[in-house]
Amino acid sequence: MSDISSAILPSGTLLPALGLGTWKMGENSSTAEQEVKSLKHGLDLGMTLIDTAEMYGEGGAEIITGKAIEGRRDEVFLVSKVYPYNASHQGVIDACERSLQRLKTEHLDLYLLHWRGEHDLEETVAGFEQLRRSGKIREWGVSNFDVEDMEDLMEVEDGEKCAANQVLYNLARRGIEYDLLPWCQERGIPIMAYSPIEQGRILRNTELIRIAKAYQATPAQLALAFVLRTRNTIAIPKSSDPHRVEENAGAIGLEISREDWAALDAAFAPPFRKHPLEML
């Protein structure tokens, strides 16, 4: 599959709108081979964005990712994340170096602050910018930032260079549609949706099943299509099963009628007021 739709960063860089998550990978040596195989299959299908983090398996997911991209680094848009407690100016630089070593690569395409912590954003951004100038990262962004956090970031020197915000977003978690999603869209900052199928919990919903069947699709494909229907929104489902990865890739190109989107809105209500940003 080569027709994965694209999102665009503020810099103009294109990246796949449907990628591969790695949360909970690298935690068990008995499943490592299957996890590598799954990521490689996703790359073969055109899902060439891989999202990982130093937190996942305490570096284990980065090692798995490094094995999956070996010999094909140039194909991959590679994303990793730094722990908040490592996000001082020098801490960011040191953490990035460790991630690069585990990933066996010389640079990250996108490096994110995993969530806001004790270190001042000025310190974190300064570290990111030093990494960017040195070529260790191409772009940087944030994760789990609500509107107020984003506005604070914009007040920091070079804060406007934020390239993306990765947050929890799926049919059952639509709070960002009230304010954060439009805020980011107005500024050309893509939303990266983690847990876009709510770790499978929404897939038994009868309305989701009914509508998916009408399109000869699976509930997971329809749930991913919901996330992907929004301009400049990226979905990063995680699966260690190559068959499930192939199923996820089938979400691309689903064209759902207005009536069926409205039926999904009735089953999974959009927000009508501000909600605190949800996290998993």
Q: Tell whether 114 is in a known binding site.
A: yes
* Other Cβ atoms within 10 Å of 83 Cβ, number: 17
Does 83 participate in catalysis according to the annotation? no
Catalytic residue among 56, 111, 169, 194: 56
Output DSSP code: residue 275: -
* DSSP output for 149-177: HHHHHHHSTTGGG---EEEE-BTTB-GGG
* DSSP output for 173-187: B-GGGTTHHHHHHHT
Rounded Cα distance between 16 and 190, Å, is 11
Q: Helix axis angle, 219-228 relative to 242-249, nearest 10°? A: 50
Tokens of 132: 């960017």
Q: Helix axis angle, 32-44 relative to 60-69, nearest 10°? A: 50
Rounded Cα distance between 38 and 44, Å, is 10
Q: Point out the annotated binding site for substrate.
A: 114
Query: Active-site residue numbers?
Result: 56
